[in-house]
Structure 1
Amino acid sequence: MIWPAEDLWQALVAWQPGLTVEVLPQIDSTNTELMRRARAGQNDPVLLVAEAQTAGRGRLGRPWHGQAGEALTFSLGLPLMPRDWSGLSLAVGLCLAQSLDPEGALGVRLKWPNDLWVAQAQTSDGWGKLAGVLIETALTAHATPEQPRYCVVGVGINIAPPQEPGLSTTPLGLQQLWPEATAPSTLTQVALPLLKTLLAFEREGFAPLQALFNARDALHDRPVRLSDGRVGTARGVDLDGALRVDTAQGRERITSAEVSVRLQ
């Protein structure tokens, strides 16, 4: 594959001085690699792309493997110091959805807290999973609480229709929505908006994005089941990105650190 690394670097470095772009043919996980570097004291901003991942990870440690040409897998790492980290994964997911489907015509929606779903009538639950986000942070060597944390935003986007039966949500490839899609062209679409989103989040947090997220919320007004057994109806997210769920006990705020959420 031919990657537009030079063009991407020129676009990104104008917003984040010192940022580098690396494309590797294969690695265990782009997130794991940047976290290793951060713990070793390397906290330079970098966009790390892998043509293939052998041990990619999703939320709660779930595997996310990407074969060359079949998926876009990358991580963007940079020091960040927002006042509040709440809602960052939602901001990233919203950015990806807007970049891939600006007008919403393709039906790309957000499944709280960190997946991109598309309505698919032929699947058992009516949805297909297009992409996922994994965010990790690390204190660099000799860091103090007043210094930024190194934030690693990992993104996995299915390009070709995946052949992975048995998953809780049927996977979907971007080429099923946009046949011309490739991993390099998709990276060009999403990389700069993602960097701008992270920088804006550092200044403003999630609150300015609440209404935009709720407009694309795949769970809104739907019955959901939490991983701790509670059931209720999802009512969008609040100003810091917590999911509001109406249960028999009343309205509850659910944070991504507490439980996972599935449609009933």
Structure 2
Amino acid sequence: MTPQPPENRDKDAGRWSDLGRPPLNATALRRALVRPGSLWTALDVVSATGSTNSDLAARAAEGETEGAILVAEQQSAGRGRLDRTWSAPPRSGLFFSVYLTPRVPVEHWGWLPLLTGVAAASALTQAAGVDTALKWPNDLLVTSPDADALRPGGTLTERKVGGILAERAGPGVVVGIGLNVSLTADELPVSTAGSLALAGATSTDRDPLLRAVLRSLEHWYGEWQSADGDPVTSRLQEAYATGCATLGRSVRAELPGDTEITGEAVAIDSDGRLVLATADGVQRPVGAGDIVHLRPAAEA
């Protein structure tokens, strides 16, 4: 798919119908991010597409250069891990993918989605004023109200505000991020979802939020590459563990073949795997590629 030039405005007036959700300013974003010496080499914004990951992967197969960014105002076939769907109203969030060609040993490439999580969480905490945590392996969490929280006795709970999907493409990796920014309670796709707005964000202006996430990603990617992909030397392992809400909790890892492991999440190992301490005293590492669901142990 050839992206529509971002400066072209849709003939459909619907693009401008929701003044509370203005379109991204592609020209300003490009000016701020695509510059000499930057990781980012190109930035395109399209009004709608099926999946930015799929589109950018197709471009990677045709020789796309590292640092390309593809942003969609709306996705009709957005995907999460294991092809789970991700949908949201137009311009209600940030839906984008980046193309990276890491120059580190391939055995360290599995850290890319975790690295992206660290970058996004730290950027959103600062730029949106919302404490953002990580749920292993690829979710971003915020503390948001329950459906009745605005009523007397309402409570707060952790909710998924974003997800990350990394896929091999060409000689590199396409990393996609979906982030709910201004969704209202009525617009949430599932009861466990949330948005920055519902979490009390100080800003839901998507332009500075996108810039903050991409600059943070550039920083962490540079640190990781300078350390030849070593998660300890780059401090990536430490940063992920510090921000990971999964650690210290009793969880149930559901694996293929209707098997499961239950235990306390005690560490993130050097391969980015979650280490579970089981009741029989064994520590079991679980990789992101091995897991179907990770749930609280008490959840039915």
Q: TM-score, normalised by structure 2?
A: 0.76
Provide the C-alpha distance between the structure 1 equivalents of 2:215 and 2:40, rounded to a whole number of angstroms. 15
Instruction: Provide the residue aligned with 2:137 in structure 1.
Output: 113
* Residue 286 (structure 2) pairs with residue 254 (structure 1): yes
Q: Which structure would you say has the larger Rg?
A: 2
Instruction: Provide the residue aligned with 2:68 in structure 1.
Output: 46
Instruction: Provide the residue aligned with 1:225 in structure 2.
Output: 252
Contact 2:40/2:69, CA 8 A, preserved across alignment: no
Evaluate the alpha carbon distance shift between residue 133 and residue 257 of structure 1 in structure 2; reply closer, same or farther with a 3 A threshold. same
Provide the C-alpha distance between the structure 1 equivalents of 2:197 and 2:277, rounded to a whole number of angstroms. 37
The number of residue pairs the alignment matches comes to 253
Query: How far is the alpha carbon of 1:2 from its aligned partner?
Result: 4.0
* Residue 222 (structure 2) pairs with residue 199 (structure 1): yes
Evaluate the alpha carbon distance shift between residue 94 and residue 104 of structure 1 in structure 2; reply closer, same or farther with a 3 A threshold. farther
Evaluate the alpha carbon distance shift between residue 182 and residue 105 of structure 1 in structure 2; reply closer, same or farther with a 3 A threshold. closer
Evaluate the alpha carbon distance shift between residue 2 and residue 45 of structure 1 in structure 2; reply closer, same or farther with a 3 A threshold. closer
* Residue 80 (structure 2) pairs with residue 58 (structure 1): yes
* Counterpart among 256, 271, 274 of residue 243 in structure 1: 274
Contact 1:70/1:159, CA 8 A, preserved across alignment: yes
* Residue 52 (structure 2) pairs with residue 20 (structure 1): no
Evaluate the alpha carbon distance shift between residue 254 and residue 210 of structure 1 in structure 2; reply closer, same or farther with a 3 A threshold. same
Query: How far is the alpha carbon of 1:225 from its aligned partner?
Result: 0.4
* Residue 171 (structure 2) pairs with residue 153 (structure 1): no
- 2:268 maps to a residue whose letter is V
| Ranges of 4+ aligned residues in structure 1 off by more than 6 Å | none
Q: Residues 164-200 of structure 1: CA distance to partner in whole angstroms, max 9, x if unpaired? A: 3545xx1111122215312223112211221232233
- 1:97 maps to a residue whose letter is A
Give the 5 Å matches for 1:67-78. 67-78=89-100
Provide the C-alpha distance between the structure 2 equivalents of 1:232 and 1:50, rounded to a whole number of angstroms. 39
Instruction: Provide the residue aligned with 1:263 in structure 2.
Output: 296
Give the 5 Å matches for 1:42-191. 42-83=64-105, 84-102=108-126, 106-120=130-144, 122=146, 126-139=157-170, 149-161=171-183, 163-166=187-190, 170-176=192-198, 177-191=200-214
Query: How far is the alpha carbon of 1:82 from its aligned partner?
Result: 1.8
* Residue 54 (structure 2) pairs with residue 32 (structure 1): yes
Query: Percent identity, aligned pairs only?
Result: 28
Unpaired runs of 5+ residues, structure 1, are 140-148
Contact 1:135/1:152, CA 8 A, preserved across alignment: yes
Unpaired runs of 5+ residues, structure 2, are 1-22, 148-154
* Residue 241 (structure 2) pairs with residue 214 (structure 1): yes
- 1:57 maps to a residue whose letter is R
Provide the C-alpha distance between the structure 1 equivalents of 2:264 and 2:238, rounded to a whole number of angstroms. 18
Query: How far is the alpha carbon of 1:118 from its aligned partner?
Result: 1.7
Provide the C-alpha distance between the structure 1 equivalents of 2:189 and 2:64, rounded to a whole number of angstroms. 39
